[in-house]
């Protein structure tokens, strides 16, 4: 359970920094440790033996679902390493088809993630709240349609053009993932020198 104590601290820190209230309880983490431990990937980063950051993922039959992250120290690219690159590595090495990194964030596109629409079901007891959210979703739907259309037309096309212009010997395809060997080495060598990355399941 020691790794959960680390992650609990990181989770609380993220909630405070985002002006929100962390809604998952300590009992929740104890319960998933007891009942779901074979379906969890918890990635922890240690600096000089001290746990400084972590990312929580849930392992599905074909998909790795990234959900929560937190840190008590800032290191450039640490968020990307724990939440994105480690998740992609795990998915490739374990035969998963995709990584679902959660909602929002244009920065995810440059890290190899493409936008996909998902479905979400909610029920509100208060009629006024129900109507307010229903009205909001009309405009939100239009905004999402515009954003995803723009991303697919411009950013993804630019990505594929760049990919085609690169020497093919630098690209590896595993499952449905494309890996650019040279870029990966440049971005990620920072972590090999400065800190230890530890996978705890």
Residue 82 tokens read as 């724990």
Tens-digit pLDDT profile for residues 175-197: 555 554 444 433 333 344 444 44
Secondary structure class of 73 (helix, strand, coil): coil
Q: Stretch 110-124: mean pLDDT, rounded?
A: 73
φ, ψ for residue 177, nearest 5 deg: -110, 140
Per the document, the length of the chain is 201
Check residue 41 and give its pLDDT: 93
Q: Stretch 140-153: mean pLDDT, rounded?
A: 78
Check residue 18 and give its pLDDT: 63
φ, ψ for residue 98, nearest 5 deg: -160, 165
In sequence order, the β-bridge partners of residue 172 are: 179
In the chain, at which residue ranges do the beta strands (DSSP E only) sit?
40-47, 50-59, 63-71, 98-100, 171-174, 177-180, 196-200
Domains along the sequence of the chain with CATH: 2-113+173-200 (3.40.630.30)
Tens-digit pLDDT profile for residues 36-92: 999 999 998 888 888 889 999 999 999 999 888 889 988 877 888 888 888 888 888
**Residue 85 and residue 68: Cα distance in Å, rounded?**
15
């Amino acid at each position: 359970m020691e790794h959960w104590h680390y992650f609990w601290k990181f989770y609380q820190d993220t909630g405070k920094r985002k002006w929100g209230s962390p809604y998952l309880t300590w009992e929740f983490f104890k319960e998933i440790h007891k009942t779901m431990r074979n379906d969890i990937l918890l990635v922890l980063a240690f600096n000089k033996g001290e746990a400084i950051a972590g990312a929580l993922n849930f392992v599905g039959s074909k998909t790795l679902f990234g959900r929560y992250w937190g840190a008590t120290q800032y290191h450039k690219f640490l968020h990307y390493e724990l939440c994105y690159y480690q998740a992609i590595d795990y998915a490739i090495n374990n035969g998963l088809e995709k990584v679902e990194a959660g909602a929002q964030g244009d920065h995810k596109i440059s890290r190899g993630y493409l936008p996909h629409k998902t479905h979400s079901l909610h029920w509100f007891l208060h009629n006024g709240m129900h109507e307010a959210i229903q009205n909001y979703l009309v405009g939100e739907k239009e905004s999402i349609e515009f954003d995803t259309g723009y991303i697919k037309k411009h950013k993804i096309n630019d990505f594929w053009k760049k990919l085609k212009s690169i020497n093919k010997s630098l690209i590896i395809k595993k499952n449905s993932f494309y890996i650019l060997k040279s870029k990966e080495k440049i971005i990620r060598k920072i972590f090999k020198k400065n800190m230890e990355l530890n996978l705890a399941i």
